[in-house]
Structures are given as structure tokens and as C-alpha cells.
Amino acid sequence: MKKLVIAYSGGLDTSYCAVSLSKEYEVHAVSVNTGGFSKDEINNIESNAYTMGVTAYKNIDAIATFYQKVVKYLIFGNVLKNNSYPLSVSAERIIQAIEIVEYAKSIGAAYIAHGSTGAGNDQVRFDMIFQTLAPDIKIITPIRDQQLTRQEEIEYLKSEGIHMSWEKSKYSVNKGLWGTSVGGVETLKSEKPLPSEAYPSQLKKEGEEKVTLTFKNGEFVAFNGIKNLPEINIEKLNDVAADYAIGRDLHVGDTIVGTKGRVGFEAAAAIITIKAHHLLEKHTLTKWQLQHKEYLSSFYGMHLHEGQYLDPVMRDTEAFLQSSQKMVSGNVTVSLKPYHFSLDGIISDHDLMSSNFSTYGEENKAWNAEEAKGFIKILGNQNKIYQQVNS
């Protein structure tokens, strides 16, 4: 039997794939942890995988890889798709696909499978990564190819002696390092919000709590004065901020296949980190750095979402983002409150407000009144010429 690697989550779709494909292939199930999995959950997924008949199961810890290859640049770029969504799930899928295909190559697998349907974004991300990095490995997608319904999958598993509870929960939750997506009946249409109880983190704290995020060259290197790896600082910030039920929102966007989509999300650490980092940039970067970063960051986020991570233009953009962070170092103080937060201020050796040139709206020490008048007169020349010629 030829080796096949399946991207295995343990849900209904990938369980159907594992059982059905095990009849024809030597199935190796692989899960990629990009945050959000407890040790017990991983053990449970492994146990279920063997119940489905797989030959081997592998869980790959890719939290650090996810941060280094993707999340770091999302912070550098302050990336929020449609000004709201930190690309929690779409960013994860890219790394998961890369890790899975590299594992498939390492064991000499001739086939690779995933449980995506033909209606969403993940099929595009997985297929593009797989066929680019391993063009000789054939991609198999039973759910998409057979156009199966949930009930048909459940009936098949029952016929194979797999009697597990596949009842779909009221709300689907996908948790990772960079946020948690939440889907439900309300997100299928346009008019209703998700109820508070749909979100995994409920309000546990009242009042106000101040926290300090320390950045060095744009990276989140310490939380409340305690240094650690950025991905660990993100997790620690999320643990604190989640008790205030911060970071809830609904994202409306365009899918890769051209339809509109709506999903809820909870991303306390992602939103706070991005906003704190952006505030520090406002103090430490020049006007033109900020302007060019804005559109290049939007470009980066859109192409990541669309599954274009392997295009070399993404490495070019990352080089720009990395270069822009040389002076983005300092502390940012944030006040956490129920359901929201506020940015208090920054302390940085590179704060451009601390220069001796002038105080905004108050005084200057670098030019006199006549020099200011001359500057303004010349600055307005183009507008004056245009209005004179075209009046």
C-alpha cells in the first residue's frame, strides 16, 4: 500500500477521510499545533486517529515556526484585514500546509489528503502549498470530490463501526496562537451578532488593569517587565486580557473563491499587540515610513489570506517590514477594561517627539517666521499654478 499523509484535525470530515482512505493507502495522520491545543486534546486526537484505522499519527509543534514565519510580520505590518481581522485562521493554514507537505516528503509519501470542501478558502491554501512544494505528490480530497453531506459522512462511519458523537456543536471554534474564530448560525447571514455566550472567553474581571508591552526592533520581547520569547508573551497577554473579554468582533470579507463571508473572532492578544506596536511606530518612524508601510502591509495581509505565501514578493515585502523595525523599541502601557482597552502612552529612546526642534503647536527652535513664510509660499506653488491655469 502506498503511503498517504492526511491533514488530520479529528473532526467529522478528516475522520471520514481517514477511515475511507485507510482501505486503499497506508495512512499517516498529521496534526499541526499552531497554538490552542492542550496536551490532553492532542492525546485525544491521537487516540481517535488510531480508532479511524490510520497506520501512524504525528503531532507537529509549530507554534514557534508560526510566529517566526508569519505572526512576526503581521505585527511588523499591523495587519488587520478590512481594518478588523488579524488573519487568525488564514495565517495558521499556511504554516499547517507547509509542515504537512514537508512531513509527507520526509517519509516518502506519494499522496497527500485534506478534508476541505469545495466551498471555502482552505482548499485553495492547502492545494496551492502542496502542489508548489511537492508537485509529484498527488492531492486527494474525498469530501470535495464526492460532494458529501455531513449526514452521509456520519452514516458511512457508522457502517464502518465508528460510533462516536458527531453532533455539530452550536458554535464552531478554532483556537490558535493569533486568535480564535467563532462560527454559528448568526454568521451565515448578515443581520444578527453572535451572542456573548458564543465566545470562548467570558468576562471574569471588572475595573481596570495596566500592563506593559516591551518591543525591541518591533518584536514583543517582554510582558510586564518579564522577558520571554515573543510567542510566549503573546500567550501570557492573551491569558490576562481574556478575563476582560477583550478582542471580540465580527469580520466580513471576500473569500478567495469570490463569495462574501462572515465570521466571529476573539483575538485579545493579537489586537492589543498590533495596536500597541502601531502606537510605538507612530512615535519612532518617519512620515514616509508610516505611509509606505501602510499599503505594503495591506498587500502582505491580502496575499497571505489568498494563499500566495510562497510567491517571492512576500519575501521582498518581509524584508521591507523587517528593515522598518530598526528603531521600533520601547515600552507601551495599555489599560485593560471590560470588553475594551486603551493605549496610555510609550517610552522609547527613539521617540521623535523628544527632539529639540520644536513642540507641536507651541514653539520651534529651528526656523524663524520669515523662513516659515517662504517654505509655505513655495510649498503651495503647484496648487497655485493649477488653479491659475484651469480657473
Average pLDDT, the chain: 94
- Quote the percentage of the chain above a pLDDT of 70: 99
**Sheet with 56-61: strands ordered across:** 56-61, 26-33, 3-7, 111-113, 138-140
Report the pLDDT value the prediction gives residue 119, as an integer from 0 to 100.
83
**Bridge partners (DSSP) listed for residue 347:** 331
Superfamily (CATH) of domain 172-285+324-347: Argininosuccinate synthetase, chain A, domain 2 (3.90.1260.10)
Report the pLDDT value the prediction gives residue 74, as an integer from 0 to 100.
98
Give the tens place of pLDDT for each residue, 60-88.
999 999 999 999 999 999 999 999 999 99
Report the pLDDT value the prediction gives residue 356, as an integer from 0 to 100.
75
Report the pLDDT value the prediction gives residue 358, as an integer from 0 to 100.
64
Domain extents in the chain: 3-159, 172-285+324-347, 356-390
Q: How far apart are CA 221 and CA 234, in angstroms?
A: 10
SS3 253: strand
Predicted confidence band of residue 38 (pLDDT cuts 50, 70, 90) = confident
Give the tens place of pLDDT for each residue, 254-303.
989 899 999 999 999 999 999 999 999 999 999 999 999 999 999 999 99
Give the tens place of pLDDT for each residue, 327-360.
999 999 999 999 999 999 999 999 999 877 766 6
Instruction: Give me the phi and psi of 354, to 5 degrees please.
Output: -90, 10
Which pairing describes strands 179-183 and 172-176: parallel, antiparallel, or unpaired? antiparallel
Which pairing describes strands 26-33 and 3-7: parallel, antiparallel, or unpaired? parallel
CATH code of the region 3-159? 3.40.50.620
Give the tens place of pLDDT for each residue, 166-191.
777 788 888 999 999 999 999 999 99
- Quote the percentage of the chain above a pLDDT of 90: 86
Report the pLDDT value the prediction gives residue 24, as an integer from 0 to 100.
94
